[in-house]
Copies of this chain bind each other. A is one copy, B any other.
Amino acid sequence: MDNHLSSVKNSCTLLKMFLDSPKEMGVSELSRQLQLSKGAVHKLLATLESEGFIKQNPTNKQYSLGYTLLELGNKVLKDHNLVEFSKQYLQRLSDTTQELTCLCVRDDYEAIYVDRIDSKHPIRFNVDIYRRFPLYATSAARAILAFQEPLFIESILSSGIRTYTAYSMKEPAEVKKRLDIIHANGYEVSENMRNVGVMGIAAPIFDTNGAVNASISMIGPANRVKPSLETMIEHVTTTAREISAQLGYRG
- Given known contacts A16-B51, A50-B4, is B129 in contact with A67 (CB within 8 Å)? no
Q: Which residues of B contact A69 (CB under 8 A)?
A: 69, 72-73, 75-76
Is residue A151 within 8 Å, beta carbon to beta carbon, of the partner chain? no
Q: Which residues of B contact A3 (CB under 8 A)?
A: 43, 46-47, 50
Residue of B nearest to A9 (CB): B47
Is residue A5 within 8 Å, beta carbon to beta carbon, of the partner chain? yes
Is residue A34 within 8 Å, beta carbon to beta carbon, of the partner chain? no
Nearest CB of B to A83, in Å: 10
Is residue A94 within 8 Å, beta carbon to beta carbon, of the partner chain? no
Q: Which residues of B contact A130 (CB under 8 A)?
A: 67, 70-71, 73-74
Give the number of copies in the complex.
2
B8 pairs with A71, CB closer than 8 A:
no
Q: Mark A67-110, 1 if CB is under 8 A from B, else 0.
A: 11111111111010000000000000000000000000001100
Count chain A residues whose beta carbon lies closer than 8 angstroms to a beta carbon of B. Answer: 47
Residue of B nearest to A105 (CB): B67
CB pairs A–B below 8 angstroms (9 shown): A1-B50, A4-B46, A5-B47, A7-B8, A16-B71, A23-B79, A65-B79, A69-B75, A73-B130
Binding site for B on A (CB under 8 A): 1, 3-5, 7-9, 11-13, 15-16, 18-19, 23, 43-44, 46-48, 50-53, 64-77, 79, 107-108, 112, 114, 129-132
Top 7 A-B residue pairs of the complex, sorted by shortest distance between their CB atoms:
A73-B73, A12-B51, A23-B79, A74-B130, A3-B46, A69-B72, A70-B130
